[in-house]
Chains A and B, each alone.
Chain A
Amino acid sequence: MLKTINDIRENRQVLRSQFYANLKITVVTTRLGVLWWIFDPLIFMAMYYFVIQIVFQKGGPGYHLLALCGIVTWQSFSRSVNQCTTALVRNAALIKQAALPMVLYILITPVIQAFFYLIGLTIIMVWNYPALGIHTLAIFILVALMILMSITAGMFLSIFHAYARDTGNLVSYALRFGFFMSPVLYPAEKIYDNESIPEVAKFFYSLNPMVHFISAVRELLLNGRMFDWQPILIVFAVTICFLQIGLLFFRKNSYYVPKMI
């Protein structure tokens, strides 16, 4: 991990310019430019609001914010993971021309997605301003955790994807499944308080880090309280462990990647 931090430090210029370039492209390629950063989460919210609240008459008061929290968070996570998976293959041209540490290509997308995530979260904060307070700052811990989780997934998935392009398809299915297995459109209590679901299933459900993650975001931004730190700390610790393994895996296997892409 230290070596990676060193790589990042040495190549921070590259990260900065790639970050700048990627953001700028989203602005200059569209007529609405920056406005898309705000419209994107709102359009998704409107769609799910229509289906759940109007068609199914479920959800209850404040559902739009509950859904927005879940959607913004999930969207950011799934885009990060998806783009991390294809990062090496997408940047094949660069990898074959510049002998940069390949870890960099995995780092860029989660950081960019985190930027968009912060914009989405800001919309929620403004919308639900009574919940703001000193605890709101804890959101940065969660955003950092999001970046780490995506990078960790990317360490493994990007290599698999380089060796077998099927990985990208499988990841899309897995993320779609994860969307429903995470409390994106419903509060996590719906599962925990449901007595017809066996305890074992609830246990497996709680193994999904996004369950705790999304709950924590809602606790912060909707209820205006500090989140329960215990599950988040566990997710953090597990992520760090896997990240270390992932980095070793990546270093060992990225050697032959240029030839495969």
Chain B
Amino acid sequence: MSNLKNTENNSRVTAQSSEMICLDNISMCYRKQVSLLNLLFGSKDRKKQEFWALKDISFTLYKGETVGIIGRNGSGKSTLLMVCAKIYPPDKGKVIVNGKVQLLTLGLGFKNELTGRDNVLISSSLLGLSHSEIKERMPEIEDFADIGSFMDEPVRTYSSGMRSRLAFSIATAIQPDTLILDEVLTTGDVSFREKAINRMKNLQKLAKSAIIVSHNPNQLKQLCDRLIWIEQGRLIMEGEVKETLQEYRAFCKKPIKWMEENPSIQNTLNP
């Protein structure tokens, strides 16, 4: 019976093609590594060995939309992105992903000893490009990264800004259906950051969707259509960029006071 219900649900969700990513009551749990000795003689309390990084999170990303995720360090942002990119299977709940999703963390598979050009080859093949496609896009990638003759130097000699320039130009050259950025736009100098933001806007025009994690309110305002705020693995607020940012700021200044003013949220965090 429950099986039947599941398949119904499934068909309902996949029927709408404009949904790129659909998370349904996702929970993620990390189990702490326990040594054999502890396992034999230690406490039997399983709950202590578990850490729920995400708890009952649901949200949908639609086609052509850019959603920002905010939250304090350790609130579960990165884990949530990994679930969206289908790298972590959730322990509870369901993930439906349509199209190609690419998580962009700087320098996918970069080998420090090899040259920038070699790394373009490695990185973009990991991103699913064929050899001829890489050759075709090499000039474009080189042009966008704009690091000059350093293209033929080993990546270990790069400054961190140069490294992220190269990484960013590779990752956005492939144009996946959904691009996931984990605090990537914060690197590089001002001129590159602007180039990067322009490129993101272009991607948005091409009806590609994106999820962005950033601590920079201006960038979020520039790029995002919606914001999601998570705290302690739970979804606190989902809505307009300005409103959510405002609440988030108020919370960050005085977390305890804010919680007292919003007892319903406090109750969900500490049941």
Contacts and interface: CB of A to CB of B under 8 A. Distances in A.
Contact of B114 (A16, A25, A98): A25
B114 A24 contact: yes
A97 B105 contact: yes
A38 interface: no
A17 interface: yes
A94 interface: yes
A28 interface: yes
Given A13-B131, A24-B114, A96 B87 contact: yes
Interface in B72-95: 82, 85-89
Given A25-B111, A25-B113, A96-B82, A256 B125 contact: no
Contact of B89 (A16, A100, A256): A256
A13 B122 CA distance: 9
Interface string B4-30: 000000000000000000000000001
B173 interface: no
Interface size class on chain A is: 20 to 34
B153 to A, nearest CB: 11
Interface in B31-89: 82, 85-89
Contacts of B86: 99
Interface string A88-102: 000001111111100
A190 interface: no
A162 to B, nearest CB: 11
Contacts, number: 62
A16 B118 CA distance: 12
A94 B107 CA distance: 10
Given A13-B130, A14-B125, A259 B154 contact: no
Nearest to A15: B125
B55 to A, nearest CB: 16
B103 interface: yes
Given A13-B131, A25-B111, A96-B87, 4 more contacts: A17-B122, A20-B121, A21-B111, A259-B88
Interface of B: 30, 82, 85-89, 101, 103, 105, 108-109, 111, 113-114, 118, 121-122, 125-131, 154
11 contacts: A13-B130, A16-B131, A17-B121, A20-B122, A21-B118, A24-B114, A25-B111, A94-B108, A98-B103, A98-B127, A258-B88
